[in-house]
Amino acid sequence: MKILDYQKLIDFFEQKMKEPLPGLSAQLKMEPPHRNNEFQKNPDFDNFRKSAILIILWIDQKSLKTAFILRPEYDGFHSNQIAFPGGKSEKSDKDLIQTALREANEEVGINSEIVKVMGSLTPLFIPPSRFMVYPVIGILKNKPDFKTDPHEVKTLLIADISTFLNTENIIKQQFVIRNTTINDIPCYKMGDHLIWGATAMILSELLELIEPFLLTE
């Protein structure tokens, strides 16, 4: 693989964001089998809260990197799960891009002034928490100087995007979710960690979008 180029990555996203996104069909490749049941429990699809996450991308020579957080254990739907930095929209946010940048700054110390925002992927509804998540793509010239908030982040996880394009790292796993055992949940393996649920669905769309860049480069 050749050494990746920052400007080519910018140019690639600027063109791709003008085209139709991979969308729901890409997200559904990693949909947990119980998600339809969650929709049935919460049929009022119009009644949702807005949130945004920041997909942080930067080039490390031959690799395209991104960052995830492992959330602490708490009394909530996403306790101890892997996610992109992000959170709910606040009234003070002028838009959802600002939500993503603010949350990334609060959780992992990303300075919004160094982020080149490329646009957003397809919003994803999360039935249990009733959040509509807007995934914002942000590119950095270099690896950021992360500073994690221990109240928000248990562990910072850095990954090579190409890891998830390796089909050997896509598996199905059994989880116990709210005292119910669910089989065959699609996951991405990242070392000893598993990415599943909404984060995996968002990652699936990102991978379908970015794969041509990584293959040509």
Per DSSP (E only), the strands in 30-130 are: 49-60, 63-70, 82-83, 86-88, 116-120, 124-126
Q: What is the pLDDT of residue 47?
A: 73
* Residues 52-80 pLDDT 10s: 999 999 999 889 999 999 998 765 555 67
Q: Which two tokens stand for residue 215?
A: 């293959």
Task: Please give the mean pLDDT across all residues of the chain.
Answer: 91
* Residues 139-156 pLDDT 10s: 999 999 999 999 999 999
Phi and psi torsions of 94, nearest 5°: -75, -25
Q: What is the pLDDT of residue 144?
A: 94
- Is pLDDT of 95 > 80? yes
What's the angle, vertex CA 12, arms to CA 10 and CA 17, rounded to 5?
95
Alpha carbon 205 to chain centroid, angstroms: 9
Stated pTM of the model: 0.92
- Is pLDDT of 181 > 80? yes
Domains of the chain and any CATH numbers: 6-165+199-211 (3.90.79.10)
Please report how many Cα atoms fall inside a 13 Å half-sphere around the Cα of residue 77, on the Cβ side.
10
